[in-house]
Amino acid sequence: MNATSLPRHDVRLENVMKQFGPWVAVNNISLTINGGEFFSLLGPSGCGKSTTLSMIGGFETPNSGGIYLGGEDVSRLPPYKRDVNTVFQSYALFPHLDIFENVAFGLRRKGLPKAEIQNRTHEMLNLVDLTNFAKRKPGQLSGGQQQRVALARALVNRPKLLLLDEPLGALDLKLRKQMQFELKRIQNEIGITFLFVTHDQEEAMAMSDRLAVMSRGQIEQVGTPAEVYDHPATEFVASFLGASNLIPGEVTARDDDITSVKLEDGAMVKLPSTALKIYGKSVKIGVRPEKFQIITGTETPEPGWNEIEAISGVSVYLGVSHQYVMTSRSGRQLSVYEQNSGRDSPLAPGTTVRLAWNPAHTFAVAYDPTKADGE
């Protein structure tokens, strides 16, 4: 099979809405997934990501809106008429069929000639490295092997889109890492569009070309892992993807290049205006813990960097870094990671330091000071 020659199909969701009684599971979302892309839906449980996947797979029907697969409206087609295959969270392998028959199941439903079924099934078993297990039953395989069977069973049909519903959740950490690479490799090799659903932000970042962060039935942000991590659009995204320090402040000046913000503790910081996509006066300035540089005594930061004062607290040694909990002048807790390359011994608790960071590493999210400060 010349994998790269397979046509690639995009997926479009237009104003899709799904309600279960009074509960709005998916609230009017629109999304485009490019052909051949590894795309992730990321969010906490109950955010609507699995319902979205179910609607694309055909197991749920949207109350309104349309789902387009390669331009064709499939929103009302039953699952067995959609060119979409799914890797289920529980794998859902057929326990009464051997591995070969599990993988061949979809091809048999299409009524393909026997020889082609043989060839394609063996080819796929080969791709997932399970050729020697063809005659075994699913119950005789380990979790990782079952996972690969589930993947092969879906991919052998050459779907326009592959849905993966938290498929790595049941594996232990080491196997999960291994499967992440495996999935990436297979996706590169065959070029089918992958839609991956997970609540694990690290997994989503590691594997996706692009990802969408969902919360409460809505999409908070869509972008590459780097875009979403470095410039989260909302406070939810900032705190869901990795750790971040958010400090309330007010915009004091703004021109085409630079915006100045006065933080709650009085410090003035600058950030590129392009990073500020909101127009209110009140904002929260965000800095990732690893972007801080700790400055003590008479050391000076790089010219042009932002700077605030803080008092160091307890620290945790993690090998690659020291992680500090510090307190800003206004009493706000700050998380600071320092690479394990400079200081010999950690800062003593109570030391007054300055935290400096590059303005380019600053992001800003909307802030409504009249509301309670939800952390």
Please choose, out of 41-49, 104-112, 304-312, 335-343, the segment that lies near another protein by the rule CB under 8 A: 104-112
Q: Under DSSP, is residue 6 helix (H, G, I), strand (E, B) or coil?
A: coil
- Residue from 148, 153, 284, 354 in contact with another protein (CB under 8 A): 153
- Residue from 30, 61, 72, 94 in contact with another protein (CB under 8 A): 94
**Binding flag, residue 112, another protein (CB under 8 A):** no
Residue span 51-70 as binding mask against another protein, x where in contact by CB under 8 A, dash where not: ------xxx-----------
Please, which residue, 93 or 285, has the CB nearer to another protein?
A: 93
What tokens does 264 get?
């709650």
Please choose, out of 103-111, 169-177, 185-193, 244-252, the segment that lies near another protein by the rule CB under 8 A: 103-111
Residues 26-33: contacts with CB within 8 Å, 24+ apart?
26/51, 26/52, 26/55, 26/62, 26/217, 27/216, 27/217, 27/218, 28/65, 28/218, 29/214, 29/217, 29/218, 29/219, 30/219, 31/212, 31/219, 31/222, 33/161, 33/193, 33/195, 33/210
Please, which residue, 143 or 346, has the CB nearer to another protein?
A: 143
Locus of tokens 């160091």:
312
DSSP letter assigned to residue 5: G
**Binding flag, residue 13, another protein (CB under 8 A):** no
Q: Under DSSP, is residue 67 helix (H, G, I), strand (E, B) or coil?
A: strand
- Residue from 7, 78, 266, 349 in contact with another protein (CB under 8 A): 78
**Binding flag, residue 84, another protein (CB under 8 A):** yes
**Binding flag, residue 157, another protein (CB under 8 A):** yes
CA-based nearest residue to 207, from 227, 230, 182: 182
How many residues bind to another protein according to rule CB under 8 A? 26
Spell out where 318-366 has E strands.
321-328, 333-339, 352-357, 363-366
**Binding flag, residue 110, another protein (CB under 8 A):** yes
**Binding flag, residue 138, another protein (CB under 8 A):** no
Please, which residue, 57 or 225, has the CB nearer to another protein?
A: 57
CA-based nearest residue to 139, from 102, 108, 177: 102
Locus of tokens 């055909």:
58
Q: Under DSSP, is residue 186 helix (H, G, I), strand (E, B) or coil?
A: helix
**Binding flag, residue 88, another protein (CB under 8 A):** yes
Region label for 177, one of left (φ > 0), alpha (ψ between -120 and 50) or beta (otherwise): alpha
DSSP lists the bridge partners of residue 317 as 322
Tell me how far, at minimum, the Cβ of 227 lies from another protein, in Å. 32
> In degrees, to the nearest 5, what angle opens at C-alpha 149 toward C-alphas 214 and 204?
25
Tell me how far, at minimum, the Cβ of 38 lies from another protein, in Å. 20
Please, which residue, 107 or 207, has the CB nearer to another protein?
A: 107
DSSP letter assigned to residue 347: P
- Residue from 8, 137, 177, 270 in contact with another protein (CB under 8 A): 137
Which positions from 178 through 197 interact with another protein, judged by CB under 8 A? Answer: none
Which positions from 300 through 339 interact with another protein, judged by CB under 8 A? Answer: none
**Binding flag, residue 76, another protein (CB under 8 A):** no
Please, which residue, 83 or 265, has the CB nearer to another protein?
A: 83
- Residue from 15, 30, 61, 90 in contact with another protein (CB under 8 A): 90
Tell me how far, at minimum, the Cβ of 56 lies from another protein, in Å. 11
- Residue from 6, 14, 68, 105 in contact with another protein (CB under 8 A): 105
- Residue from 22, 139, 342, 374 in contact with another protein (CB under 8 A): 139
Per-residue burial over 154-175, b = 16 or more CB atoms within 10 Å of its CB, e = otherwise: bbbbbbbbbbbbbbbeebeeeb
**Binding flag, residue 174, another protein (CB under 8 A):** no
Q: Under DSSP, is residue 342 helix (H, G, I), strand (E, B) or coil?
A: coil
Q: Give the rounded distance of the alpha carbon of 349 from its chain centre.
A: 35
Binding site for another protein (CB under 8 A): 57-59, 78-80, 84-86, 88-90, 92-96, 105-106, 109-110, 137, 139, 153-154, 157
